[in-house]
Amino acid sequence: MTHTETATVITPEALLEHWQGHRRLTRKTIEAFPEDKLFTHSIGGMRPFAAMITEFLDMAVPGLTGVVTGKWQRAEDMPHYAKKGLSATKQELLQQWDEATKEIDRLWQQIPPERFMQTDKAFGRWEGTIYFFILYWIDNEIHHRGQAYVYLRSLGIEPPAFWERS
């Protein structure tokens, strides 16, 4: 076994860039949807993509706030979020997305370096390590965005290239 606890697999900066790269791809995926289909299109009884996007937003900034402060609040209990309610148009959804992008960048800089390997109880419910929560939020976005690719294909629309993150 050659690995040690101190081997650097990825730096905090690189993980932030990795996430924001995925979020740029998700933004393109939102843009690719026709306005109505974003809120209505479904296969096999699954949620429309807009509902999945709302889930991503409910995890990202509220989650990172918990990472930084150790206090976990659900999105609907956060004053800033609660007053906005659910986005009703594609433009509103994109605007919420862009606000979250800036807020993620801002909060990320406040994560103490030792925090990533600490354990906590995310949103007061899930026991785990901070890096796992962050990867979970990223993975959950990749997972559901992949489903949105099928929605787009079923509508005859070509999704953005998966490897393109700029």
Binding site for its own copies (CB under 8 A): 1-15, 18, 22, 43-46, 109-114, 116-117, 129, 131-132, 135-136, 139-140, 142-147, 149-156, 162-163
Query: Which residue lies nearer to its own copies by CB, 4 or 166?
Result: 4
Min dist CB 140 to its own copies, Å, is 7
Instruction: State the CB neighbour count (10 A cutoff) for residue 56.
Output: 19
Alpha helices of 3-86 — where are they, by DSSP H?
12-32, 35-40, 49-69, 79-82
Query: Which residue lies nearer to its own copies by CB, 80 or 124?
Result: 124
Tokens of 54: 């709302």
Contact 72, 122 (CB under 8 A): yes
Query: Which residue lies nearer to its own copies by CB, 88 or 124?
Result: 124
Contact 144, 52 (CB under 8 A): yes
Query: Which residue lies nearer to its own copies by CB, 1 or 71?
Result: 1
Min dist CB 59 to its own copies, Å, is 12
Min dist CB 122 to its own copies, Å, is 12
CA distance 50 to 1: 46
Min dist CB 38 to its own copies, Å, is 16
Query: Which residue lies nearer to its own copies by CB, 9 or 85?
Result: 9
Contact 122, 66 (CB under 8 A): yes
Residue 138: closest CA among 17, 31, 28, 33: 17
Min dist CB 152 to its own copies, Å, is 8
